[in-house]
Structure 1
Amino acid sequence: MFLKRITLLQNNIPSYSQYPFSIPSIKSMDEIILKKNVTFFVGDNGSGKTTLLEAIAEKCGFNTAGGGRNNSYEVHASVSSLGEFIRLSWMPKVTNGFFLRAESFYHFASHLDEVDDTGFRDYGGVSLHEQSHGESFLSLFLNRFKGEAIFLLDEPEAALSPQRQLSFMRIIRDLTQNEQAQFIIATHSPILLGFPDATILNFDKGEISEIGYEDTDHYQITKYFLQHRERFLAEIFSDEG
């Protein structure tokens, strides 16, 4: 594990009423101590998890639209609004890694088509645009993710079927066990959140706090739906709902 601590530089913040400090979880943040090689960020939409992940990517020198340190291309509104207000503490520091943004992955694939002169060696030997969305994600994970590195992933499940999410979990395990890679993943997937011995940080309730897997909304709602599907649907479709 390489990244040990994320600290909010509170004395540098000009106003807590402006974005991103208007987000309760970011406003209340002091420091986050990372304890495991795999850390998940969870929370409702707009809770701040992607905002913080993007800021970490900027401080790592990764393209905040998606990519590593050597991927230079521009996508509208890809600059982090939080990056200059956090400090990362490393032991030791690594420069290798990747930031995956599911929402802008198409632009990253187009960037590779323009600049790659190695026959897409690091991406399975085929343009990512010539693979299905799920195949292109797995090609990235299998071929580009290697060595001592930190990988920051924003909703990687967006392109992965449940079966491929399980395959991705095996990739995470192999990389963290054999090559000491570190992952920070923002996700809504109850499957990925089940990765053994990971830390789950919840961004809901106006703070960032550690939470157990079975205590997450992702687990509880999914479990209730699977066990009581007809009752659940009757409740949300009722005229009073």
Structure 2
Amino acid sequence: MPMVMDLRHPLILLTGENGSGKSTLLWSIYYALREEAIDGYVCRVEGKPEIPKIFLFDAEQHNPRMHPELLNSPQMKEFVQMASHGQVMLSMFRETFPSLPEGTVLLLDEPEMALSQSNQRRVLKMMMELCDQKKFRIICATHSPVFIEDPQTYVINLDNYINRNVLPGDMGVEGSSTIQ
């Protein structure tokens, strides 16, 4: 996926169809910032940035219930056992992420998965506050219209960068139904 894009904005949303490379790009950024090569494909052009912490959070793979090291207090650990997945995600934005050091790079893969629209708005506001108040840099892969349509967000649509080998019609998403 050769591309050059501007990643200087404090809050960047990556959007695109399934398979467009949002998660791949997040992981590539993660490895590049840690100065790790992935089969020789990650290349750093500029000098090493001063980053106190790089945190990659994949909502699909990293259920906070399975990662007690993300929880700051015994009360949080107890709360997580009784709360819904959406409530746990909100608590990550309220409690865990704000406790990370100033200047953290936070890479988020579809954090909206377990959230209602109103809670997606809350999370977007919290992401903006982390950028403003703690100088976080957040890159978020998302399908959320709530995130994407907010006029304050900087959106990169990866559909503009990919070479499609499979047409949408081949996947049954356009035209007649593929269900018989």
Structure 1 residues 90 and 199, CA gap change in structure 2 (3 angstroms):
farther
Matches within 5 A, 1:31-180: 31-61=4-34, 82=38, 84-88=40-44, 89=46, 92-106=49-63, 109-112=65-68, 120-121=71-72, 125-127=76-78, 128-146=80-98, 147-180=102-135
Identity %: 29
Question: Does the CA contact (< 8 Å) of 1:123 and 1:144 recur in 2?
Answer: no
Question: Does the CA contact (< 8 Å) of 1:122 and 1:144 recur in 2?
Answer: no
Question: Does the CA contact (< 8 Å) of 1:123 and 1:140 recur in 2?
Answer: no
Unaligned 5+ runs, structure 2: 164-173
Q: Distance in 1 between matches of 2:140 and 2:130?
A: 14
Structure 1 residues 236 and 161, CA gap change in structure 2 (3 angstroms):
farther
Aligned match for 2:143, one of 179, 182, 188 = 188
Alignment: residue pair count? 162
Q: SS at 1:104's partner residue?
A: coil
Structure 1 residues 189 and 148, CA gap change in structure 2 (3 angstroms):
same
Q: SS at 2:66's partner residue?
A: helix
Paired letter, 1:204 = D
Q: SS at 1:99's partner residue?
A: strand
Structure 1 residues 167 and 46, CA gap change in structure 2 (3 angstroms):
same
Shift of 1:95: 3.0
Q: Distance in 2 between matches of 1:131 and 1:55?
A: 32
Q: SS at 2:77's partner residue?
A: coil
Shift of 1:109: 2.9
Q: Distance in 1 between matches of 2:87 and 2:9?
A: 28
Shift of 1:183: 0.7
Q: Distance in 1 between matches of 2:133 and 2:73?
A: 19
Q: Distance in 2 between matches of 1:59 and 1:83?
A: 12
Question: Does the CA contact (< 8 Å) of 1:150 and 1:182 recur in 2?
Answer: yes
Q: SS at 2:50's partner residue?
A: coil
Q: SS at 1:87's partner residue?
A: coil
Matches within 5 A, 1:197-216: 197-207=152-162
Query: Whose relative contact order is higher, 1 or 2, with alpha carbons under 8 Å and at least 6 apart?
Result: 2
RMSD: 3.1
Unaligned 5+ runs, structure 1: 1-25, 62-79, 209-234
Question: Does the CA contact (< 8 Å) of 2:147 and 2:153 recur in 1?
Answer: no
Structure 1 residues 143 and 32, CA gap change in structure 2 (3 angstroms):
same
Shift of 1:144: 1.6
Paired letter, 1:178 = Q
